Amino acid sequence: MNRQRLGFLSLLGLSVLVSASGFWVGPGRWIFYAGPNDVPNSQVIALCDWIGITWIVVFFLSVAMHPTKAILFLIPAPFVLYWPIMFAIRGVFVLRA
């Protein structure tokens, strides 16, 4: 296995690992374990934001290193960026009201 392919697979594995942890901390845990009226606290939202930022850094690193294959890194994007985007949009609408 050549060095470039190993680097690509390592970045792809890191991207999937970060997105899986972001999904588990955010929506995954609330889907399986939350009650009907449970809401996430600010620590969970902040952790989801940091995991989302970490994934974005890994994505831009993959675009810089492997520009032709970087489209594959967008597959786990909805899992890791769901809550950060949802709460950013919700925060904009709450601040306007």
* 23-52 residue pLDDT tens: 888 888 877 887 777 777 778 888 888 999
pLDDT band (50, 70, 90) for residue 97:
low
Residues making up the chain, counted from first to last: 97
Query: pLDDT at position 51, please?
Result: 92
pLDDT band (50, 70, 90) for residue 90:
confident
The token pair at 84 is 């950060």
Query: pLDDT at position 92, please?
Result: 61
Task: For residues 17-23, give the mean pLDDT.
Answer: 91
pTM for this prediction: 0.82
Q: How far apart are CA 2 and CA 75, in angstroms?
A: 24
Task: For residues 55-79, give the mean pLDDT.
Answer: 90
